[in-house]
C-alpha cells in the first residue's frame, strides 16, 4: 500500500542520518494541506540530538527522489506528504489493473470458523437474529477479502428446552396422538402449529412448575433420542428449517454449514470425558459443573441482612455441563461443538461467534472450559464478537406496534413495503425484487455503519433515503455509474490522467477507503468501511456534478473520465460485496 511505500522512503532517509527508530505515517488531519503526515520527529528528536524541526528538515533533505510524492518539513515539526499528479495517476492505474483494487491479502491467511446464525427451530425467527446475520455475513466476507479462509456455520438452536416445551404443548393439544398410538391418522406438524405451540408453552412454563418439569423430561428424552420423542423432534425440525433458510436467503446470509446444536450430541460424551480426565468436573446440587472463575471474580459483596442472597462483584458462575436430570445445556452443546469443529476441520486457527453481547458470560465460560480442558489447543483463538441492540425510536429494543417481538419475516416484508413506497414516490413501478434489494441494503448499511458493540436506532425512513449515509445512496451511485458506462462503451481506452481536484479527491477517498479494510479487520466491525465508502461515493458525486462525462468533447479527457468511473465502480463493488449489499440493475 501507498503508506508503506512512504514509510519506506522516510525510513531509508532516517537511516542515512543515523537514526535507527522507524517512522510511521498517517492520513493527514488537514487534507487541504497534504495527504499524509509523519508526526514522529517530536519524539525522535532527543535521540537524534537535534531540535524536532531540524530533524524533520534533515530527513526530508535525505529522502530519495520519488516523483510520486512531495515531502516537506513544516513547523512545528511535521513532515507533510503530498501525492503528485503522477502519484495519483499511478494509484488510479493500480486500482484499475489489480484484482482487489490494490488491496493486499494477508500473507498468512488463517483458517476461521464463523458462527453467526443461531436461529432456533420451533421458535419463530425474530429481529433479534438480524444483527448477527448482517454483521456475520459482512465479517466473513471481510476476512475472505483479506486472505483468511472462512467457513460459516449457522449453528441452529435445535437441542434445548424449547423442544420439550413445544412437543409437550403439541401433545396436550392432541396433535401428537398418532405418535402415541392414540390415533391411526398421521398428523402433519406445520409451521403454524409450531408458531402457536412454543409461545403458549413458554408462557405456561413460567407459571406452571409441573408443566415445566415435564417439558424438561421431554427435552431429555429427545436428547437421548428416545422414540417417539426423537421422531417428532425431527418432524419439528423439518417444518422449521425451510423457513429459516428462506429468511436467511432473503437477507443474503450464506452459510457453508447447516449444523445445529444437536449435531454436537455425538461429541458430548467425549468432551465430558476430556473435561473429567483433567479433574475439572464436579458435582453441585446434582448437576455437573466446571468452575471457571479467576481470582478477581466472584468477590462476595457485603450483605445488608443475613437473609439476603449472596451477591458477588465480577460474578462468574460455574459452567453447567449436565443438569441434575442428565440433560445437556447451551454451554455443553457449545463446548462439544468446539470439539467437533476441531476434529472435522483440523483445529482451525480461530473460531469466532457473533451474538448479542448479553451472551458474553456464556462464551467466557465455554471458552475457559475448552482452554482448561485442552479441547481447544493453546494456539487457537476463540472469540466472541458481541453486538449491541437494535432499538426502536423510543430507545428501547425494537418491538412491534403491539409491543411484541417482530418476526423476521414481517421485518423483511416491511422492508419490501417501505422500499416499494420509496420507489413509487420516485415515479417508479413497484418491483418486489428491487424493493427487497433496496430495503435490505438500507437495513444493512444502517446497521453496519455503527460499531458492532453499539446499540442503534432502527429508523427505516432515514435508512431508505437515496441521499446521505445510506445503503440505497451507495446502490444509487453504483447504478448511476453503470448507466453512464453503458453509454460510453465505445470510448477508446486511454490513459488515466488527473485534470482537477475532483479527481484527486476521489483518489484521496480511495486510499482511505482501501486502508479502512484493515481497520475493520482489527476492530471486528464494518463501521470504518461504511464511512469511507460513503466518502468515496460523495467525492464521486461532486465530480459528477462538476463534469459531464458523456458530453465531454476532448477525447483524451473523456477517456480518462471513463477510467475514473471504472475505478470508482470497482472500489464500490468491492466494498458492497463485503457489506453483502447487492447492486440493482436499475434504480
Distance CA 143, CA 520 (A): 10
- The residue among 247 and 482 lying less far from ligand ARG, judged by its C-beta, is 247
Q: Quote the crossing angle between the two packed helices 265-277 and 360-373, to the nearest 10°.
A: 60
120 binds ligand ARG (CB under 6 A): yes
Contact yes or no for 62/537 (Cβ under 8 A): no
Distance CA 158, CA 237 (A): 8
118 binds ligand ARG (CB under 6 A): yes
- The residue among 82 and 362 lying less far from ligand ARG, judged by its C-beta, is 362
Name the minimum Å distance from CB 444 to ligand ARG.
20
- Which x/- pattern, by CB under 6 A, does the window 219-258 give for ligand ARG? ----------------------------------------
Question: Candidates 39-47, 113-121, 308-316, 493-501 — which segment interacts with ligand ARG by CB under 6 A?
Answer: 113-121
Question: Candidates 23-31, 83-91, 114-122, 538-546 — which segment interacts with ligand ARG by CB under 6 A?
Answer: 114-122
- The residue among 355 and 560 lying less far from ligand ARG, judged by its C-beta, is 355
- The residue among 92 and 157 lying less far from ligand ARG, judged by its C-beta, is 157
Binder to ligand ARG among 69, 71, 353, 534 (CB under 6 A)?
353
For residue 427, CA distances in Å to 424, 455, 587 come to: 5, 35, 11
Question: Candidates 115-123, 281-289, 387-395, 479-487 — which segment interacts with ligand ARG by CB under 6 A?
Answer: 115-123
For the record, the C-alpha cell of 224 comes out as: 437421548
CA atoms within 13 A on the CB side of 91: 27
Distance CA 336, CA 272 (A): 8
Going by C-beta distance under 8 Å and a sequence separation of 6 or more, which residues neighbour residue 254? 137, 152, 248
- The residue among 251 and 549 lying less far from ligand ARG, judged by its C-beta, is 251
Contact yes or no for 116/136 (Cβ under 8 A): yes
Binder to ligand ARG among 332, 355, 477, 559 (CB under 6 A)?
355
Name the minimum Å distance from CB 202 to ligand ARG.
13
Name the minimum Å distance from CB 114 to ligand ARG.
10
Cis omega (within 30 of 0) on the bond before 228? yes
Name the minimum Å distance from CB 157 to ligand ARG.
3
Task: Please tell me the count of residues contacting ligand ARG according to CB under 6 A.
Answer: 8
Name the minimum Å distance from CB 316 to ligand ARG.
18
Q: Is 520 helix (H, G, I), strand (E, B) or coil?
A: helix
Considering only residues 282 through 341, tell me which ones interact with ligand ARG, judged by CB under 6 A: 334
For residue 396, CA distances in Å to 399, 401, 457, 462 come to: 8, 13, 9, 18
Helix, strand, coil shares of the chain as percentages rounded to 5?
55, 10, 35
Interacting residues toward ligand ARG by CB under 6 A:
115, 118, 120, 155, 157, 334, 353, 355
Amino acid at each position: 500500500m501507498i503508506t508503506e511505500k512512504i514509510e519506506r522512503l522516510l525510513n531509508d532517509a532516517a537511516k542515512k542520518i543515523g537514526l535507527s527508530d522507524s517512522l510511521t505515517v498517517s492520513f493527514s488531519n488537514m487534507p487541504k494541506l497534504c495527504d499524509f503526515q509523519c508526526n514522529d520527529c517530536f519524539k525522535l528528536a532527543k535521540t537524534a540530538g537535534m531540535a524536532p524541526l531540524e530533524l524533520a528538515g534533515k530527513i526530508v533533505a535525505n529522502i530519495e527522489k520519488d516523483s510520486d510524492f512531495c515531502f516537506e518539513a513544516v513547523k512545528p515539526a511535521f513532515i507533510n506528504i503530498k501525492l503528485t499528479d503522477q502519484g495519483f495517476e499511478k494509484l488510479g492505474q493500480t486500482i484499475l489493473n489489480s484484482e482487489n483494487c490494490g488491496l493486499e491479502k494477508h500473507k498468512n491467511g488463517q483458517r476461521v470458523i464463523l458462527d453467526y446464525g443461531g436461529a432456533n427451530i420451533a421458535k419463530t425467527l425474530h429481529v433479534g437474529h438480524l444483527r448477527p446475520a448482517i454483521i456475520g455475513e459482512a465479517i466473513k466476507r471481510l476476512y475472505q477479502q483479506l486472505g483468511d479462509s472462512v467457513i460459516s456455520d449457522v449453528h441452529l438452536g435445535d437441542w434445548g428446552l424449547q423442544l420439550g416445551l413445544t412437543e409437550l404443548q403439541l401433545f396436550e393439544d392432541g396433535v401428537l396422538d398418532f405418535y402415541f398410538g392414540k390415533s391411526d391418522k398421521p398428523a402433519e406438524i406445520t409451521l403454524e402449529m409450531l408458531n402457536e405451540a412454543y409461545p403458549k408453552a413458554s408462557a405456561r412454563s413460567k407459571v406452571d412448575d409441573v408443566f415445566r418439569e415435564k417439558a424438561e423430561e421431554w427435552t431429555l428424552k429427545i436428547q437421548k433420542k428416545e422414540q417417539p420423542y426423537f421422531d417428532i423432534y425431527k418432524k419439528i425440525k423439518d417444518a422449521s428449517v425451510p423457513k429459516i433458510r428462506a429468511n436467511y436467503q432473503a437477507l443474503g446470509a450464506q452459510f457453508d454449514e447447516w449444523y445445529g446444536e444437536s449435531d454436537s450430541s455425538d461429541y458430548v460424551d467425549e468432551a465430558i470425558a476430556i473435561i473429567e480426565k483433567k479433574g475439572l468436573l464436579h458435582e453441585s446440587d446434582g448437576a455437573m459443573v466446571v468452575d471457571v472463575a479467576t481470582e478477581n471474580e466472584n468477590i462476595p459483596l457485603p450483605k445488608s441482612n443475613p437473609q439476603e442472597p449472596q451477591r458477588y462483584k465480577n460474578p462468574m458462575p460455574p459452567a453447567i455441563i449436565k443438569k441434575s436430570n442428565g440433560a445437556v445445556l447451551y454451554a455443553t452443546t457449545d463446548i462439544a461443538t468446539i470439539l467437533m469443529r476441531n476434529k472435522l476441520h483440523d483445529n482451525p486457527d480461530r473460531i469466532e461467534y457473533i451474538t448479542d453481547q448479553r451472551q458474553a458470560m456464556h462464551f467466557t465460560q465455554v471458552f475457559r472450559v475448552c482452554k482448561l480442558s485442552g479441547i481447544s489447543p493453546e494456539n487457537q483463538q476463540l472469540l466472541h464478537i458481541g453486538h449491541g441492540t437494535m432499538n426502536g425510536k423510543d430507545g428501547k429494543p425494537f418491538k412491534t406496534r403491539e409491543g411484541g417481538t417482530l418476526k423476521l419475516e414481517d421485518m423483511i416484508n416491511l422492508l419490501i413495503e417501505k422500499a416499494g413506497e420509496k420507489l413509487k414516490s420516485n415515479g417508479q413501478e413497484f418491483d418486489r425484487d428491487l424493493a427487497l434489494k433496496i430495503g435490505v441494503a438500507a437495513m444493512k448499511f444502517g446497521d453496519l455503519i455503527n460499531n458492532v458493540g453499539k446499540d442503534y436506532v432502527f429508523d427505516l425512513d432515514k435508512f431508505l433515503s437515496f441521499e446521505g449515509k445510506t445503503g440505497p445512496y451507495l446502490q444509487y451511485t453504483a447504478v448511476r455509474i453503470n448507466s453512464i458506462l453503458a453509454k460510453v462503451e465505445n470510448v477508446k481506452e486511454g490513459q488515466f490522467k488527473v485534470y482537477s481536484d475532483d479527481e484527486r479527491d476521489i483518489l484521496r477517498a480511495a486510499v482511505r477507503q482501501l486502508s479502512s479494510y484493515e481497520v475493520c479487520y482489527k476492530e471486528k466491525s464494518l463501521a470504518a468501511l461504511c464511512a469511507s465508502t460513503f466518502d468515496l461515493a460523495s467525492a464521486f458525486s461532486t465530480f459528477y456534478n462538476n463534469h459531464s462525462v458523456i458530453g465531454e468533447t476532448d477525447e483524451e479527457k473523456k477517456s480518462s473520465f471513463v477510467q475514473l468511473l471504472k475505478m470508482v465502480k470497482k472500489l464500490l463493488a468491492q466494498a458492497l460485496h463485503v457489506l453483502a449489499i447487492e447492486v440493482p440493475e436499475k434504480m
